[in-house]
Amino acid sequence: VIVTSRSMGVVGRIFVLGECLLSDETTANLDVVFTSFELGIKGPGPISIGPVSIPLPRPRGSLKTSFCDDDFRISRGGRGGVFVLKRLKDLR
């Protein structure tokens, strides 16, 4: 998962990394274990921090995918949140 934010010439980016396993091969359910995240900040001019990688205590979650094509995926998380994900051409 990648989150990018821009404000006043500063760009912040968070990468959340994890492992996914199919919980049932006949459905679109995934069990997710988040392993770490990276944080990077690039400011105006030469100001830059990171990316800094921080391990996580392996929190667990789940996703049930209700729609998926070559560009988008719509899933519902284990706590009811809806996620609309767009495939990126370049990860970094």
pLDDT tens digit sequence for 10-57: 888 888 888 888 777 766 788 888 888 888 888 877 778 878 888 888
Tokens coding 79: 């706590």
Mean pLDDT calculated for residue range 59-77: 86
* Mean pLDDT for the stretch of residues 53-68: 84
Residue 80 φ then ψ, to 5°: 95, -10
How far apart are alpha carbons 71 and 11 in whole angstroms? 24
Per-residue tokens: 64: 């049930």
Q: Any residues with CB less than 8 A from the CB of 11 and at least 6 apart, and which?
A: 4, 5, 41, 42, 43
> Which of the four pLDDT bands, split at 50, 70 and 90, describes residue 91?
low
State pTM to two decimals.
0.54
What is the enclosing helix (H) or strand (E) of 50?
strand 48-55
